[in-house]
Structure 1
Amino acid sequence: MSRLIRQVGAGILAGAIAVPMAVHAGDDKDHGHDHERRDTEVRRVLLISVDGLHEQDVARCIAANTCPNMALLAKSGVTYSNAYTPGLSDSFPGLAALVTGGSPKSAGLFYDVSYDRTLYAPSDPTCQGKQGWNVVFDETTGIDAENGGALTHLNGGGDFNPQAIPHAKTNGVCVPVYPHNYVKTNTIFEAVKQQFHGARTAWADKHAWGYDWLNGPSGKGVDDLSRTEINSIDPATGKDYTDVYTHTEQFDNLHVQTIINEIDGKDSTGKQSAAVPTLFGTNFQTLSVAQKAPVASGGGYLDASFTPGKQVADAISYVDDALGKMVAELKSKDLAKSTMVVVTAKHGQSPSDHNKLVKNGDTLVNLLEAHSYLDPNGHFGQNSTTTGSLNDGTGLAGTGFAQTDDVGLIWLRDQSQVKDVVATLKANLGCNAPGICADGPQAYILSGPRLAALFGDPAGGRTPDIIVQPNPGVIYTSSKTKDEEHGGNAPDDSHLGLIVSYPDGHHRERHVDRRVSTTQVAPTILRALGLDPDSLLSVRAEGTRALPGLGEDD
């Protein structure tokens, strides 16, 4: 195995020796549980994902005292300076790492827009047509997007878009595949509910219906899944919430209020009484939007040292203030002394150093099309809809697909062409068209047994045939609206901030420099609650250990 592949594997397979938790036993009077296995004071966990949060962002803002609330969390917990995503850094595999304990190999989530060779089209309810479907579980998964409709409702229209739901033949029966059917492993929400009688779970994220997979295969893991859609049209502005970071703050504020409502013993809407969740959390998008914004407009970073531009500095201050509000509410309800708070990210953003930015258009897909490895006219994936509207169910089946951002995931129309495609890619590694800009020491092309070992066998239908990691800084686009992206395994989008903060007064401040994976968050959460980490299928399959540094003696 080459040095490069060992480095990639380290991000996926990083493990840590499990250690005993550093706090003492306590009854769970908040929920009325009689849970004999409990050996900690942690009675609930609040998990926060700040999309785009690099380790360097955490270190910088704490040192400069520009994130005092995050610093306070760090003082009662462990800060991990060497935490990485498991091989891919899109939102789906990034969040799956946190809540399943697994990489895409076991969780089966590679991107919110991906491909599965075993599935049938949404328009094929009898599973009689071609197999192979471009699975899209994003903003168009809500019923507002049916027939290409405008995303006019914050809740995505209140239901699934039936045109976004593919089919699978299971035991001879053709059945719909909702997002919770699509994830291949169980989640911590299911594990908590199964092992903790009477436990309540909640989550709030950026897409109203695409994140249904958090429920896990049971479809019932999250009791209160807040249905909010970041790409819905704000009637006050006529634009969605991603146009500028200050607008994204308004969207994220909805989630801050959701958490406060839940701390106050209400549901996410604040309209009904509900038990305080045993496991709950949310996602922030403001920092990600500020990072992507063009450097010329104040977005991104000023240099390779992660000196934040105005938008990023403002976004970090906003997130820190939001963390402070949530922690203050925990304290006001006398819950801080029994709540573990985890602050991390699904993914980072690349490149922080604007001098590394390369935007030559989607040269990877162009090269594949030019050699007819995908349809030369672009009739594949979302591009193959007959109406021109995305994810409206009119696309072609069996076409193969390519997903590109700062990575390239390739599902070939003809899998027998893998060697030919790899040869073509290797013959065009340079950064001048038609090159794919993957000629540097941190770039690689994965296929065959090496890819299967890290991500699963493509023959199973879900795993891409080829994964291309271009040089750090390359984004396969010509867009003028963003100067950073994520999805791949470049250092800036895979190296994340991670703080595990124990209840007030129960832990001394520690720093762990050992390399860890964000997959280790899931078993850490279950252990903190006194539950069995091995109840997670991905933890067993990948041998994922709890995070180190949380014991008294290590």
Structure 2
Amino acid sequence: MEGRRKWSYLGAAVASAVIAMAGVQNMAHASESGRDHDHDHDAKRVEHVLLISIDGLHEQDLARCIGGNTCPNLASLAQSGITYTGAHTPGLSDSFPGLAALVTGGSPKTAGLFYDVSYDRTLYAPSDTNCTGKQGWNVVFDETTGIDAQNGGALVHLDGGGAFNPQAIPHALIGGVCKPVYPHDYVKTNTIFEVVKQHMPAARTAWADKHAWGYDWLNGPSGHGVDDLARTEINSIDPATNSDYSDVYTHTEKFDAYHVQAILNEIDGKDSTGTQSAAVPTLFGTNFQTLSVAQKAPVAKGGGYLDADFTPGPDVAAAITYADAAIGSMVQALKQRNLYESTAIIVTAKHGQSPTDHTKLVKNGDTLTKLLEANNYLDPTGNFGQNNTASGNLNDGSGLVGTGFVQTDDVGLIWLRDPSQVDAAVATLKANLGCNAPGICADGPQAYILSGSSLARRFGNPALGRTPDIIVQPNPGVIYSSSKKKDEEHGGNAPDDSHLGLLVSLPGIRHARTVAAPVQTTQVAPTILRLLDLKPHWLHAVEREGTEALPGFERDR
């Protein structure tokens, strides 16, 4: 590894001028003294990076709570950091591609993650251990990836049962050998955790997330990128309530508290469980689910937002207060261990939530899937993939093979049973764009249907097996559901689920910076590596997509 270099930061006026001239390209270098143009920063050596995702955090949420002094800990971080007001996800905003952007530097096109429940035409069923049957498997890497879910079992353990559910692991023919495809095999590019471990031999890495085994892909293709991957499952049954942790936001706080404690343990020189001594991680982090659950809750029951200006309802306001206090406890722990001055803290989100304006909400049911079924592009009675298992339980390994699949939330990802029908299927969809059944509610100026070369340029070639044949972005506010349990969703590219809060707090910055230029969350990953004085191009996705580090700072030469 190269010798350490100090970091410097541009004054606000200089930064604005450079951004205006150069967009989001690399910024000019500061003086060799290690102080910025306005002499308000003492360059510090970054030894640790703490990455935090408050799932659902819009840019407007962050700006409102800081401006209204309702998130004092985030406001304090902003005073020693750079806030990016134009941050967006790279095309899709489900948790998998959202987190992949942050830790691989790549979009779904390169990382290969479109959703935690998706489809791959090249894979064989979990039961097909010789890879001799049909190909085309409905890949499910969610709460059912833990062994508790085997044979449709109840999710009774917080750690998902302590192992993979073998019925959730498909197979692939690799070099003539039929091999299981675990989540870490499924991601197509390496992660920042792998780069840190490869190029900083003494470094330790850690992460905690919402699914105990589905998030194994964070380890990257090596399978060993994260030293301490906390196995926590949000959909497991809490014995104290006999329900999972996602039923109401106050219950989700209890789940998030496990992650907060894991971070506090790690700061204190222990592993995530607090039972063993361990070096403080060089790179570590977690996510919060409380805000996401509060946003989804029906407005009539206190969830969501009160108006189009992102005025939070009572649940959302309380969830932001909770996350802010939890982050404050992490900062306090860093200060107590004399780690704060050597730790960069990045706060952002995997995804937002849509629609925040309740008047735009449209819930007509899953008209997209119904239209495809009715026209025989999928099985007319819904018998495809994991919709048809021998036991009736999702992800028990007995789903149908080679059937195609549709994933819908506030987006539609379509893998056709017969890819040669793409043009016909698109014609059918375009003939039914209205919001009245059987229409798919994609007739507005912000809606679109992607297929063919336009889809391949953005998301990869469907012929390779992973990329959907068609992507439908309906009108903002549309949720392909009739559920009365939620009024917001994510997964697509609507404004409210793609425009996110992003704050980078760095040791030694004395004055807040704001960068309004558009950036993508993929730029977080190369920024983390540069903070640790590692080369961004060691990330495969950064090399392939040419992902830049975030603007606003640069290393001294």
* 1:17, distance to aligned residue in structure 2 (A): 1.9
Deviation at 1:340, TM superposition (A): 0.1
Aligned with residue 175 of structure 1, among 149, 155, 179: 179
Cα distance in 1 between the residues matched to 2:77 and 2:71 = 10
C-alpha contact 1:15 1:544 (8 A) present in aligned 2: no
In 2: Cα distance, 1:22 partner to 1:523 partner:
20
Distance 1:522 1:19 in 2: 18
Partner amino acid for 1:318? Y
- Counterpart amino acid of residue 484 in structure 2: K
Residue 18 of structure 1: CA displacement?
3.1
| Unaligned 5+ runs, structure 2 | 1-21, 35-42
For residues 381 and 311 of structure 1, the distance between their equivalents in structure 2, rounded to whole angstroms, comes to 36
Alignment match, 2:509: 506
- 1:25–1:170 CA distance, 2 compared to 1 (3 A): farther
Matched, 1:540 2:543: yes
| 1:552 Cα deviation after fit | 8.8
Instruction: Give the Cα separation in 2 of the matches to 1:105 and 1:179.
Output: 17
Structure 1: runs of 5 or more not aligned: 1-13, 27-38
Aligned to 1:515: 518
* 1:121-200 equivalence runs, <5 A: 121-200=125-204
Aligned with 2:273 (options 264, 269, 276) = 269
User: Which residue does 1:524 correspond to in 2?
Assistant: 527
- Worse-superposed segment, 15-24 or 455-464: 15-24
1:237 maps to what in 2?
241
Distance 1:18 1:526 in 2: 15
In structure 2, C-alpha distance between the alignment counterparts of 1:532 and 1:105, rounded to whole Å: 22
Q: Shift of residue 506 of structure 1? A: 3.4
1:18 to 4, 16, 26: 26
- Within 5 Å, give how 1:271-290 maps onto structure 2: 271-290=275-294
Q: Retained in 1: the 8 A contact 2:44–2:342?
A: no
Shift of 1:197: 1.7
Secondary structure of residue in 1 paired with 2:62: helix
Counterpart CA distance in 2 for 1:15 and 1:139 is 41
Amino acid at match of 1:454: R
Instruction: Give CA-to-partner distance per residue, 1:244-281, whole Å, 9 cap, x none.
Output: 00000000000000000000000000000000000000
Amino acid at match of 2:530: R
8 Å contact kept, 1:23–1:41: no
The amino acid of 1:311's aligned partner reads: D
Shift of residue 508, structure 1, vs aligned partner: 2.8
CA contact under 8 A between 1:15 and 1:520: conserved in structure 2?
Answer: no
After TM superposition, the structure 1 = structure 2 runs for residues 81-480 of structure 1, keeping only pairs within 5 Å, are 81-480=85-484
| CA distance in 2 between partners of 1:230 and 1:20 (Å) | 45
Identity %: 76
Assess if the C-alpha contact under 8 Å between 1:103 and 1:519 holds in 2: yes
Q: Which amino acid aligns with 2:377?
A: Y
SS at match of 1:546: coil
* Amino acid of the structure 1 residue aligned with 2:245: Y
Alpha-carbon distance in 2 for matches of 1:283, 1:149: 27
Distance 1:522 1:70 in 2: 21
Task: Give the 3-state SS of the residue equivalent to 1:136 in structure 2.
Answer: coil
Q: Are 1:142 and 1:156, in contact at CA under 8 Å, matched by a contact in 2? A: yes
The counterpart of 1:67, out of the listed 47, 67, 71, is: 71
The Cα shift of 1:25 comes to 11
User: 1:550 corresponds to which residue?
Assistant: 553
Q: Could you say if the C-alpha distance between residues 230 and 523 of structure 1 is closer, same or farther in structure 2, counting changes exceeding 3 Å?
A: same
SS at match of 1:116: coil
Give the direction of change, closer, same or farther, for the CA distance of 1:453–1:280 in structure 2 (3 Å limit): same
C-alpha change, 1:490 and 1:24, in structure 2 (3 Å) is: farther
Q: Which of the numbers 460, 484, 488 marks the counterpart of 1:484?
A: 488
1:130-167 Cα offsets, whole Å, 9 max, x none, are 00000000000000000000000000000000000000
Q: CA offsets per residue over residues 163-188 of structure 1, 9 Å max, x none? A: 00000000000000000000000000
CA distance in 2, matches of 1:129, 1:23: 64
- Letter in structure 2 aligned against 1:350: S
- What do residues 363-414 of structure 1 show as CA deviations (whole Å, max 9, x unaligned)? 0000000001000011112202121000000001100000000000000000
d(CA) in 2 for partners of 1:213, 1:368: 31
User: What amino acid is the match of 1:252?
Assistant: D
Deviation at 1:303, TM superposition (A): 0.3
Partner of 2:553, secondary structure, is coil
Taking the aligned partners of 2:125 and 2:332, their CA distance within structure 1 comes to: 48
The letter for the 2-side match of 1:232 is: S
Output the amino acid matched with 2:282. Answer: T
Deviation at 1:550, TM superposition (A): 2.2
* Aligned AA (1:142): G
Deviation at 1:23, TM superposition (A): 11
- 1:493 matched to 2:501? The reply is no
SS of equivalent to 2:551: coil
- CA offset at residue 293 of structure 1? 0.1
Contact 2:26 2:554 in 1 (8 A): no
CA distance in 1 between partners of 2:267 and 2:511 (Å) = 25
Alpha-carbon distance between aligned partners in 2 of 1:260 and 1:210, rounded to the nearest angstrom: 24
Secondary structure of 1:199's match?
Answer: coil
What is the letter of the counterpart of residue 17 of structure 1? Q
- Letter of the 1:531 counterpart: L
Pairwise CA RMSD of aligned residues? 1.6
Q: 1:16: Cα distance to partner? A: 3.3
Corresponding residue of 2:8: none
1:4-62 Cα deviation digits (max 9, x unpaired): xxxxxxxxxx9932347879999xxxxxxxxxxxx961111000000000000000000
Helix, strand or coil at the partner of 1:474 = coil
> What is the DSSP-based 3-state SS (H/G/I as helix, E as strand, rest coil) of the residue aligned with 2:139?
strand
Give the Cα separation in 2 of the matches to 1:375 and 1:368: 9
Conserved 8 A contact 2:131-2:173: yes
Query: Residue type matched to 2:277 in 1?
Result: S
- Displacement of 1:100 in angstroms is 0.1
Deviations 1:229-248 (A, max 9, x none): 00000000000000000000
Normalization by structure 2: what TM-score?
A: 0.93
Q: Residue in 2 aligned with 1:4? A: none
In structure 1, C-alpha distance between the alignment counterparts of 2:71 and 2:222, rounded to whole Å: 39
Q: Which amino acid aligns with 1:473?
A: G
Call closer, same or farther: CA 1:103–1:182 in 2, change over 3 Å. same
